[in-house]
Structure formats: C-alpha cells, structure tokens
C-alpha cells in the first residue's frame, strides 16, 4: 500500500465496474438491440429507484456501508493500546509485534489505511476513544 496515492480515498484495489455491468445486463445481452436497450433502461430505472428509497431512510451523517466499516473498526480497536507521545501523536500497540504511529491533526496512521480510504483505521479509533472523540467526525468527506 505504500505506493498508492492517498487522494482517491478508496479501499478497493481493483475496479470491477465492467464485470459488474456485464453481470447486470446478462439476461438482456442475447435479445435484439432495441429490446436489449429497453431491458437495460428498465433495470437501471428500478435500481435508481431502490437506491433513492434507501437513501431517504438514512439516519445520521454517514451512509450505511461507511457506518458499517466504522463500526467494524470500533470493535477491532478494543485490541489496541494507544499511548500519547506528545501533541496530536499517539503510539498504538496492536498485538505483540505491531506498532503504529497516529497523528490525529494530520489525519495519518503508519498503516496508511486512514489516508487511503478516508475511514479511520482501528489504531485511529483507539486514539479517539482515549480523547473522547467520535470516529464519525474523522471520516473524510467524499
């Protein structure tokens, strides 16, 4: 992960957009062109409507998938032990041999997951609990 840019804020290392779209239109592909296009249009309209309905049910500042990832980090952070080393920096021990440095002001962790995804990693969440802050306030705006 050391060679990836931290500007994209994505936790997927590959893009399966083409494969997903091909699977999405699989049943329509063997039909005549006009019927195929109408079938794809109808599927897209249904999908957009379903997403819109889910969107209007959201409660809180984070979308459900991001909230789920933050919740997983909260659970994983219970195995971390943060120590304040001055200013906004913490040294976080995770297990017997894993140590990471977190800087809450610069929004960095040496594991780089926070910079790459925009979602606080378990090391950062452990530090936030030490400072009585909520992890959702440190999720990057998309």
* pLDDT tens readout for residues 7-27: 666 555 556 777 888 888 888
Give the per-residue pLDDT at 54: 86
Give the per-residue pLDDT at 47: 93
- Cα separation, 80 vs 127, in Å, equals 9
Q: For the chain, which ranges sit under pLDDT 70?
A: 1-15, 142
Alpha helices, DSSP H only, in 6-121?
17-24, 33-56, 64-76, 113-117
- Cα separation, 11 vs 112, in Å, equals 11
Give the per-residue pLDDT at 5: 61
Q: Cβ–Cβ contacts within 10 Å for residue 116, how many?
A: 19
Contacts of 124 (CB under 8 A, 6+ apart): 73, 102, 104, 109, 114, 135, 138
Give the per-residue pLDDT at 46: 95
Give the per-residue pLDDT at 14: 57
């Amino acid at each position: 992960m050391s060679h990836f840019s931290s500007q994209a804020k994505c936790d997927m290392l590959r893009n399966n957009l083409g494969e997903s779209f091909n699977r999405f239109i699989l049943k329509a592909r063997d039909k005549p062109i006009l019927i195929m296009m109408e079938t794809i249009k109808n599927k897209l309209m249904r999908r957009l409507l379903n997403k819109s309905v889910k969107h209007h049910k959201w409660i809180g500042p984070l979308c459900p998938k991001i909230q789920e990832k933050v919740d997983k980090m909260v659970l994983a952070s219970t195995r971390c032990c943060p120590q304040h080393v001055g200013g906004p920096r913490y040294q976080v021990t995770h297990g017997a041999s894993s140590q990471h440095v977190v800087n809450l002001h610069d929004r960095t962790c040496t594991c780089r997951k926070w910079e790459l995804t925009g979602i606080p990693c378990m090391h950062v969440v452990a530090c936030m609990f030490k400072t009585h802050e909520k992890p959702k306030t440190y999720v990057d705006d998309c």
